[in-house]
């Protein structure tokens, strides 16, 4: 391919293949607590995401991997390898984040710590909830994303325990969040696609 082709943005065959493949994006449930509401929130986001066309979305439940607490075992648990393999096969993430003591859950932090390269140069969106929309937890997560080379997008749907849940347990999201979720997903798809070329 000539200099002028490159100058005008023409892609090589290899670049075309990489950027035209459908994206795989994981919706990661951040809590593992019995009685948690995160599956309801994750399914709602997936329902919105599944109407889009540029990516395959799947729920990724940290609880399914039975991760031990980092460093307390010899590391031979099959869930550790399975967790890394799952992340390695994803191009981007949507973190479902709940606020625990003004931060993310220990389970999500542990799961973040259990991988490194599998997170690198990928994009992520955050959907959070709590008494103040989970904003403090989400901001903590953004700091961690920087260290793991995860590009977290700006648009951030925040759900309130008071107005988007009944009795703090039954999820009844207000319609106003729909546009925000779609805007966030659009940003995740754009950046996930762009970062494929970096990887
Ligand atoms: C240990 C713990 C600490 C919590 N701390 C906060 C907090 O600091 N701020 C807040 O808004 N909600 C807090 N909550 C309320 C949770 O955000 C709420 O229970 C939410 O449903 C938890 O998500 P989950 O059901 O998916 O686990 C806390 C809950 C737990 C269990």
Select from 45, 108, 130 the residue to mutate for testing ligand 1; criterion: most ligand atoms less than 8 Å from CB.
130
**Residue 9 C-alpha to ligand 1 middle, in angstroms?**
47
Task: Please state the rounded mean pLDDT for residues 134-162.
Answer: 98
**Residue 166 C-alpha to ligand 1 middle, in angstroms?**
15
**Residue 105 C-alpha to ligand 1 middle, in angstroms?**
9
User: How far apart are the C-alpha atoms of 192 and 169, rounded to whole Å?
Assistant: 32
**Ligand 1 first shell, C-beta below 6 A:** 31, 33, 36-38, 98-102, 130-132
Residue-averaged pLDDT of the chain:
94
**Residue 144 C-alpha to ligand 1 middle, in angstroms?**
19
User: How far apart are the C-alpha atoms of 72 and 177, rounded to whole Å?
Assistant: 40
Tokens 């075309």 label which residue?
Answer: 16
Label the pairing between strands 150-152 and 158-160.
Answer: unpaired
Torsion of CA 145, 151, 156, 159, to 10 degrees: -40
Tokens of 125: 């969106």
Tokens of 16: 């075309």
106-113 and 135-147 are packed helices; what angle lies between their axes, rounded to 10 degrees?
Answer: 10
Tell me the pLDDT band of 21, cut-offs 50, 70 and 90: confident
pLDDT at position 140 is 98
Going by alpha carbons, the residue nearest to atom 28 of ligand 1 is: 100
Q: For the segment 77-108, what is each residue's pLDDT rounded down to a tens digit? A: 999 999 999 999 999 999 999 999 999 999 99
The CA-to-CA distance between both ends of the chain, in Å, stands at 21
pLDDT at position 113 is 98
């Amino acid at each position: 391919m000539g200099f002028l082709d490159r100058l005008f943005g023409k892609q090589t065959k290899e670049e075309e293949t990489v950027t035209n493949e459908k994206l795989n994006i994981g919706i990661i449930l951040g809590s593992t607590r019995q009685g948690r509401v995160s599956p309801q929130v994750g399914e709602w986001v997936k329902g919105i995401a599944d109407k889009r066309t540029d990516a395959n979305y799947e729920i990724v439940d940290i609880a399914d991997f039975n991760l031990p607490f980092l460093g307390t075992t010899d590391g031979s648990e099959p869930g550790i390898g399975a967790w890394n393999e799952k992340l390695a096969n994803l191009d981007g993430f949507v973190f479902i984040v709940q606020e625990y003591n003004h931060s993310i859950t220990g389970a999500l932090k542990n799961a973040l710590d259990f991988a490194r390269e599998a997170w690198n140069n990928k994009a992520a969106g955050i959907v959070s909830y709590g008494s103040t929309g989970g904003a403090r937890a989400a901001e903590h997560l953004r700091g961690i994303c920087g260290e793991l080379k995860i590009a977290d997008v700006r648009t951030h749907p925040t759900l309130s325990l008071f107005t988007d849940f009944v009795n703090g347990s039954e999820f009844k999201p207000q319609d106003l969040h729909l546009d925000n979720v779609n805007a966030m997903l659009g940003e995740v798809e754009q950046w996930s696609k762009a970062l494929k070329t970096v990887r």
